[in-house]
Amino acid sequence: MSVVPTDTAPGAAQPPAASAPYDERVLAAGTTLRFVLLLALLAAAGSSMIPRTVWHLLASSEKADMAAACSLAAGIDPSVSMNTSFVQSGHQPAALAECTARFAQDFTGVVLGVGTSALAAALAVYWLIPVWRTRRTKVVPLDVIDVHGGLRPLLDELVTLTGLDRTPRFVVDPASRTTGAIAFGRPRRPVIRLDGGLVATADTERARFRAVVLHELAHLHNKDTGITYATVALWRVFLVLVLLPWAAVGTDILFFRGTADIRGLFAPFNTHAQVLGGLLVLAVYLSRLEIVRHREIYADLMAARWGASAEPWEGGAAQQRSEGGWRELFVRFAGLWHTHPSPALRRASLTDPKALFALTALPLLLAGLAADILVWHLGAVPDELLWLKALLVAGLVVGIGGVALWRAVLYALLAGRPVPSGWSVGLWLGLGVVVGELTGPRAAMNQWLPAHPEALLILVAALVLVMTWTGQNAEWWLRTWRGRSPGPVMLAGLAVPVLAYASVLYWWWFLGEVLTDGWPFTTAGVLASYNLPGLPPPDIGPLWHVVAVVGFLPGTLARAGSLWWAQVLLWVLPLLALIVASRSGGGSGGERPRWLTRTLPGSIASESESGAPPYGPGRLLAAGLAGGVVCSAGLAVALARLRTADLGAMGATGPLRLAHIMGPVLVICAATALTAAVVAALTDSGWLTAGLVSAGITALLGVGATYAIMRADAGAGPGTVSWSLSRDVHLPYAVGLGTLVAGLAAFVGRGAGLFWRWLVRRWLVSGRRAGSRPAARLAPVEERSLRPVWRRAVRVAAIGAVVAGVGATALSVDVSESRGHSSRPAARMLDRSAPAPSEAVSRLQHQAWAAAGGLERIQALQAAERGYSAAFTAGGRSTTDAGFLKVMDRMKTTCGEMDRAARRAKTYFSVPGAAGQRMWARVLARHRAMVGTCRSLATRPSATTAKAAGTARRNAVDSVDAMLYWLAEKGAIRPKSS
């Protein structure tokens, strides 16, 4: 795997390296989760790239062109925004599906074969890497070099010291003059290769020899070789068998395939796809190197813990001098491409492993970027599994950032340093997501940039919110937890933000991402999507505009699969921390946590290392209760106004029902926002978690008050109408939307509180400078010690709030699922208007309309016309009754053929453009009329029916000739040769 620094002067045995004061293994490292992200990204990218490559290489170009022409023939303009294109694709879905199915080319078997071959190749590479490493350097067994048997006992001693399950096989590279080593091999057959120079100096530099071997044994102990070489194998196969062919195909599509007009039309999308492929390479490569560098430090610390000498690391660190200015920046940039950390960092980490607990921007940005690329390659996941896709992506993004944040908070508490806020973690993760969205084709589609990229700030804000919550929740639980390991509470503390962010992702993919094109919905469409009678109302005023906007915001998808119920855990879990702290007594005088004893053996816990949060649940319960009182008063006023409102005069109960849903939701959200803002402004430690706890209690009381008031009104007029519908909607909206609103309000309150304190400090300083008497300092607010009976009452009330919140949420989820509530479809809300296409696009659309089946259907009508004309002429020339009857039978057959041709033409696309569609409608109408006169003539032959049939036939022929002339004039078909 690696070697320790080797450039040191020979010397006698050195004392063991000083062990780090903190055990870096107290929490999960997070590197495995980042490896999982890379493996998932490579697997998803392969499953997405292979079908495109196979299709491009094997598909018939004629059928491929026709399949592309189907979209143009349907009136879809590839140069317009994503929302407009979505609306255009829904105008003629049946005809579009029939056309694409006609020219579809299925290569599923080939794709599966190529994918299986790539996977088999990855397994083969993984299996052969140890063999290749062994044969490339022509290594020999240790016993061949160690003829006197002096090294074997030492190596066995070191293996026993490390406690490995399997003794590695030691080999020597006699041609190598360096003094390093490397661990490789499969998990069941580990191998350590010793350089010839290391073996030669084993007797004179025994301390170095022990340190190098212990470092490699640490890699085996940490199981670094298995997952590292699995990633390497998959990456190499992906690069050669998947990425390079895909890039070649993309280059062909971008620069060579098709006409210049077609290439230019789809240039933005194809360019975005190629750029995203390049970013994938960058993200995977840099992330893998950064993970490997971290694992090197873990191996160093493990080796030092086993008694390795610090001498190898000291020599390398001594040679590295600190440079300033541009040279230092260049050194740092070059270090990103190395598999080993700098010697100075490795030496410093032996005494203080802060590098393993630090929050660095680049890994977080790469994690966000990789996750967004993963989203693009998971685009084929069906809507039924959208929740699973959201959980996977959120688990990787929030898991990676959350583990790093928990470790940083733990290190800050142990070292007595300021606890990181967490918002910077969310900001860097969000920046990676935004980079992926702007450079890839997901947000912009066939545009160079989305029309409104500022909509992506929603994802950034969500990540900042959940990561700030993660940091503060981590601090509360680390101060409170008394178990042997903080791992269980970290797992719970990560599951909650994962679920919360997954609910935002679900909303974003289901509804929200259309905002990158601007606000695409109409108020009437949003109101109609509720499927209530009387909506939209004839008069849409400001109130209905507000209702339409609120009904679209995050957290308003009320079905269980949208994960709205996860938001309640954002205030339940911190409240549980306060309950646990109140039970254990908290404070520095309480029992020392067992996990702290393992992390800092033999030390004394300080106030910063342990102890309860600076306040108990009583203060937050009181704030939530006060907010609940304000919310209840507002609900009483709002529902009273609704009872007197003349909403029922609109002729239907829909407006009244929707008002009874959204009125309380607006009041509850306002009350939770006010509560969270006030609590955050008055709180220093854990201001976001404290604000959400108080806001959650306020929302719970508000929902209860709504139920009580509306139940009391049940049976008295219009209140009966709304009760059955709204009882399972208030809680989802109040929890899902209200929690997010409260979180944003907490940030506003925190900013206002800091600004107010700054003004107060400035006023106090200016007062002292003016020679006024010293101003009295504000004493810190301390929570009074409650009597035992009141302490138990507060604890019971807090537990009751947790049970009520979780129970009500579970009941609401069960009711919503049992009633089969489905989310409102976005297609019904979108603005159906679309801009006129450009002249070039219009010409391509007309050409596609004719080529994809329009001309074929016109020719089918002409063929039926010719058969009908021949039968009509034969009937006029018939001289016998038998001959005439035979002609009439032929006429009936011709009428049937004409009817089938007319029906088939009717199912085809309407012509892009109003003028062309009017002509096509005339063709269809006249041929339907001709079918009717044909059948009348065949069943009731007479001079009158014959005259009508002849007139209808001439009209139909004239309409077809006019249509063909118009298509030729538009350049859709070649004109007839004279």
**3-class DSSP state of 718:** coil
| Helix boundaries (H) for 421-485 | 423-439, 441-444, 457-480
- Take residue 733 and report the two structure tokens written for it: 């909206």
Q: Inform me whether the pLDDT recorded for 287 exceeds 60.
A: yes
* Range from 43-52, 338-347, 814-823 carrying the lowest mean pLDDT: 814-823
Q: Inform me whether the pLDDT recorded for 745 exceeds 90.
A: yes
Q: State the Cα–Cα distance between residues 149 and 102, nearest whole angstrom.
A: 76
DSSP secondary structure code for residue 239 in this structure: I
DSSP string, 6-29: ------SPPPBPPPPSS-GGGS--
pLDDT value of residue 53: 92
Cis peptide bond N-terminal to 78, omega within 30: no
Q: Inform me whether the pLDDT recorded for 530 exceeds 90.
A: no
- From residue 30, give the alpha-carbon distance in Å to each of 338, 356, 363: 20, 10, 11
Q: What is the mean pLDDT of the chain?
A: 81
pLDDT (tens digit per residue) in 234-254:
999 999 999 999 999 999 988
Q: Inform me whether the pLDDT recorded for 678 exceeds 90.
A: yes
Strands 140-141 and 181-186: unpaired
**For the chain, what's the residue count?**
978
Q: Which residues on neighbouring strands pair with residue 183, listed in sequence order? A: 192
- Take residue 353 and report the two structure tokens written for it: 């492993």
Query: Rounded to a whole number, what is the distance in angstroms from the first to the last CA of the chain?
Result: 79
Distant-in-sequence, close-in-space partners of 972: CB < 8 Å, separation ≥ 6: 843, 846, 847, 849, 850
Strands 169-173 and 140-141: antiparallel
pLDDT (tens digit per residue) in 896-947:
898 999 999 999 999 988 888 999 999 999 999 989 988 888 888 888 888 8
CB atoms under 10 Å from CB of 820, counted, come to: 7
pLDDT (tens digit per residue) in 839-893:
888 888 899 999 999 999 999 999 988 888 888 788 777 767 777 778 788 888 8
Q: Inform me whether the pLDDT recorded for 13 exceeds 60.
A: no
pLDDT value of residue 813: 52
DSSP secondary structure code for residue 529 in this structure: T
pLDDT value of residue 7: 44
Confidence of residue 51 (pLDDT cuts 50, 70, 90): very high
Host H or E run for residue 61? helix 61-73
Q: Which residues on neighbouring strands pair with residue 195, listed in sequence order? A: 173
Q: State the Cα–Cα distance between residues 909 and 93, nearest whole angstrom.
A: 10
Q: State the Cα–Cα distance between residues 543 and 656, nearest whole angstrom.
A: 13
pLDDT value of residue 949: 86
Host H or E run for residue 817? helix 788-818
Distance, C-alpha 511 to centroid of its chain: 14
Q: State the Cα–Cα distance between residues 582 and 610, nearest whole angstrom.
A: 14
CB atoms under 10 Å from CB of 564, counted, come to: 29
**3-class DSSP state of 203:** coil
Confidence of residue 274 (pLDDT cuts 50, 70, 90): very high
CA angle centred on 778, ends 777 and 780, rounded to 5°: 130
Q: Do 952 and 935 form a contact (C-beta atoms < 8 A)?
A: no
| Helix boundaries (H) for 90-189 | 93-102, 108-136, 142-145, 151-162
Q: Do 677 and 752 form a contact (C-beta atoms < 8 A)?
A: yes
Q: State the Cα–Cα distance between residues 581 and 561, nearest whole angstrom.
A: 34
In the block, residue with structure tokens 């298995």: 226
Q: Do 434 and 460 form a contact (C-beta atoms < 8 A)?
A: yes
* Range from 160-169, 221-230, 257-266 carrying the lowest mean pLDDT: 257-266
Q: State the Cα–Cα distance between residues 532 and 548, nearest whole angstrom.
A: 14
- Take residue 697 and report the two structure tokens written for it: 């209690």
In the block, residue with structure tokens 């160690």: 146
pLDDT value of residue 856: 92
Distant-in-sequence, close-in-space partners of 71: CB < 8 Å, separation ≥ 6: 78, 89, 96, 848
pLDDT (tens digit per residue) in 97-115:
899 888 888 898 999 999 9
Distant-in-sequence, close-in-space partners of 127: CB < 8 Å, separation ≥ 6: 186
Selected residue with higher pLDDT from 830 and 271: 271
Host H or E run for residue 350? helix 343-351
- From residue 350, give the alpha-carbon distance in Å to each of 3, 299, 312, 600, 936: 16, 10, 12, 15, 100
Confidence of residue 976 (pLDDT cuts 50, 70, 90): low
Report percent pLDDT > 70 for the chain.
Answer: 82
CA angle centred on 230, ends 224 and 231, rounded to 5°: 90
Numbers of helices and strands, H then E, in the chain: 37, 4
DSSP string, 831-854: ----PPPPHHHHHHHHHHHIIIII
**3-class DSSP state of 192:** strand
Report percent pLDDT > 90 for the chain.
Answer: 31
In the block, residue with structure tokens 């794709």: 111
Asked: is 839-969 a CATH 1.20.120 domain? The reply is yes
3-state helix, strand, coil in the chain (%, to 5): 70, 0, 25
Q: State the Cα–Cα distance between residues 686 and 615, nearest whole angstrom.
A: 10
Q: Inform me whether the pLDDT recorded for 772 exceeds 60.
A: no
**3-class DSSP state of 146:** coil
Report the pLDDT averaged over residues 83-100. 81
Distant-in-sequence, close-in-space partners of 718: CB < 8 Å, separation ≥ 6: 643, 647, 648, 653, 656
In the block, residue with structure tokens 């050194």: 331
Report the pLDDT averaged over residues 478-497. 88
pLDDT value of residue 11: 40
Q: State the Cα–Cα distance between residues 686 and 746, nearest whole angstrom.
A: 11
pLDDT (tens digit per residue) in 414-453:
888 888 989 999 999 999 999 999 998 888 888 888 888 9
- Domain range list for the chain: 839-969
Report the pLDDT averaged over residues 343-371. 89
Q: Inform me whether the pLDDT recorded for 391 exceeds 70.
A: yes
Report the pLDDT averaged over residues 171-199. 89
16-30, 602-616, 805-819, range with greatest mean pLDDT: 16-30
- Take residue 231 and report the two structure tokens written for it: 């990633």
DSSP secondary structure code for residue 878 in this structure: -
Q: State the Cα–Cα distance between residues 191 and 181, nearest whole angstrom.
A: 10
**3-class DSSP state of 91:** coil
Q: State the Cα–Cα distance between residues 45 and 277, nearest whole angstrom.
A: 9
| Helix boundaries (H) for 511-650 | 523-528, 542-550, 569-584, 594-599, 617-644
- Take residue 699 and report the two structure tokens written for it: 């929302």
Across the beta sheet with 189-195, what order do the strands follow? Answer: 140-141, 169-173, 189-195, 181-186
For the CA atoms of the chain, what is the radius of gyration?
Answer: 37
- From residue 832, give the alpha-carbon distance in Å to each of 547, 750, 791, 828, 846: 21, 42, 60, 9, 22
Angle, to 10 degrees, between the axis of helix 487-510 and the axis of helix 457-480? Answer: 160
Burial 679-695 (b: 16+ CB within 10 A, else e): bbbbbeebbbbbbbbbb
Q: State the Cα–Cα distance between residues 411 and 475, nearest whole angstrom.
A: 11
pLDDT value of residue 428: 95
Q: Inform me whether the pLDDT recorded for 705 exceeds 50.
A: yes
Q: State the Cα–Cα distance between residues 781 and 944, nearest whole angstrom.
A: 104
Q: State the Cα–Cα distance between residues 582 and 876, nearest whole angstrom.
A: 105
Q: Do 74 and 96 form a contact (C-beta atoms < 8 A)?
A: yes
Nearest in space to 967 (alpha carbons), one of 829, 848, 883, 862: 848
pLDDT value of residue 326: 74
DSSP secondary structure code for residue 404 in this structure: H
DSSP secondary structure code for residue 339 in this structure: S
Report the pLDDT averaged over residues 632-659. 71
Q: State the Cα–Cα distance between residues 298 and 317, nearest whole angstrom.
A: 17
